[in-house]
Amino acid sequence: MTTPLTVGSATAQPGTLQYGRWEALAHPTGHTEFLPVIIAQGREPGPCIWLTAGIHGNEHSGPVILYQLLTQALVDQLRGTIVAIPALNPAGLRTTKREPYHAPTDPNRLWPDGKPPKPLDPEKEPPSSLETAYARLFAEMQKSADYLIDYHNTWPHSIPFAFRDRVLYHADENEAQNKAEAEALAAKLDEMLKVFGHTIINEYPSEKYIDLDLHRSTSGAALLVGRIPAFTVELGSGLMPNLNITQAALSGTRNVLRWVGMLEGEMEAIAGIKVVETGFPVRRSGTLRASQACVSIPRVKSGDLVQTGDRLADLVDIWGRPLETIEAPSTALVLSPSYGVYFYPSDTVVYLAVRDEEALTGPYPADYFKADD
C-alpha cells in the first residue's frame, strides 16, 4: 500500500504526477501567494523525500533540476513519494531578488528553530506572513518527509557542492541518548551526502552557525528540528543554469533515490563537474575581503587546494599599481574567486573552505532553549 498524502491541493495518486497549490499568504491587493506543489508517487510503497528550491529568488537552477527529474518515466520506476516545491519564494523569483519584496529578509533563515513557543510581545515586530507560512509548511513536511534536499546557487564559476550541517542535540537529562541519536543521524546524513557525490563543505562551527540563523534554513530546520537527513546543494553558476552542473545534480539526486530504495539500478557516476577530495574535512569560512577599494586579479581557480601563504589574488588600483596581495590564511579549498574584479572595502575577493576542526555533532549552546528575555 502506498501512503495517502495531500499537500495543499495536490493529492498523491499512485503511478502519477500530481500538481497543486499550497496557499501561503495573502497580499493586501487581494491576491494570494501560493507555492506550487508536485507530488510524484510510485505504484509501490517506499519512503518520502521532499525536494525544494527557489527560496532565493536569484537562484534558478534548482527549479530546472526538479522539472527535469519529475517525469512519468521516473514515476514508472519509483517506489514511494517525492514531494517537490520548486518555488518556495515566488515573489523573489518574479523579481530575481534573493529576498521577497513583501518580507525583505533572507527567507532561508525563517524556518522553525525548535525553541519553545513564547507569547508575542506587542512591542516587537511579529513574524512576517512568510515566516508564519513556512511554519505551517514545516508542520506538513514533518508529517511526511523522511529525507530532504534543498537546491540553491552560489556564485558564477563556483564549484558545485553540498553543505553539511552539524547535528546539534539537547544537553538535558537525556543527553547521552540525545547524543547517540545525533550521531546516528549524522552518520545517515554522511551516507546521503556521499551518494550525492559532490564536494562536501561543512557548515560553520555551531556557535557561528546559530548566530547567523543558518539553523533556520530549509535543510537546517529539517535536520535539527525535524531530525530528518537533509542537506543544501549549491549549484554554482548564479542565475543561469550550467548544463554540466544541473546534470551532475540530477545524477546525484537519483543516486539518493537509489540509496533510500526509491529507484533501482546502478549508482550514476558524477561526471562533468569538479569534485574535490580534500583528504580532510573542510568547512565554510569567513571570507577573504578587500581592505580597500581595488581591482582584483585572481591567481587561483575554483576547486584549487591551496596552502598557507599561497597567493590567491593581487589587488591593484585602477591604474594597475599594486595595493596588496591576498594570501591563503591556511590550507584551504578555493570555492571560487568572487564574481567580477572591482571591489569596495570589505567586499569578498575569494570564497574559501578551510580545514574543519569541529565535530559533526555537538550540544546546542547552554542557553539555547531558555526563553528569550
HSE on the CB side for 152, CA within 13 Å?
A: 19
Least separation in angstroms between CB 205 and Zn ion: 21
User: Quick one: 80 or 100, whose CB is closer to Zn ion?
Assistant: 100
The answer to the question of residue 164 lying near Zn ion (CB under 5 A) is no
Where b means 16+ CB within 10 Å and e means fewer, 36-47 reads bbbbbbbeeebb
**Total Cβ atoms within 10 A of residue 176:** 9
The answer to the question of residue 109 lying near Zn ion (CB under 5 A) is no
User: Which DSSP category does 126 fall into?
Assistant: P
By Cβ distance, which residue is nearest to Zn ion?
Answer: 152
Spatial contact of 160 and 197, defined as CB atoms under 8 Å apart:
no
Report the chain's C-alpha Rg in angstroms.
21
Cell matching residue 256: 539518493
For Zn ion, which residue of 59, 99, 165, 203 counts as binding (CB under 5 A)? 59
Least separation in angstroms between CB 166 and Zn ion: 19
Q: How many residues belong to the site for Zn ion (CB under 5 A)?
A: 3
The answer to the question of residue 60 lying near Zn ion (CB under 5 A) is no
CA–CA gap between residue 196 and residue 190 (Å, rounded): 10
Least separation in angstroms between CB 59 and Zn ion: 5
Considering only the stretches 21-29, 146-154, 254-262, 347-355, report the one whose residues sit in contact with Zn ion under the rule CB under 5 A.
146-154
For Zn ion, which residue of 56, 166, 198, 216 counts as binding (CB under 5 A)? 56
Nearest Cα to Cα of residue 37 among 128, 141, 162 = 141
Window 307-346: contact mask with Zn ion (x via CB under 5 A): ----------------------------------------
The answer to the question of residue 284 lying near Zn ion (CB under 5 A) is no
CA–CA gap between residue 5 and residue 213 (Å, rounded): 31
Least separation in angstroms between CB 108 and Zn ion: 6
Least separation in angstroms between CB 209 and Zn ion: 16
Least separation in angstroms between CB 22 and Zn ion: 20
The answer to the question of residue 33 lying near Zn ion (CB under 5 A) is no
Residues 6+ apart with CB under 8 A from 24: 32, 33, 34, 35, 129, 130, 133, 137
The answer to the question of residue 152 lying near Zn ion (CB under 5 A) is yes
Per CB under 5 A, residues contacting Zn ion are: 56, 59, 152
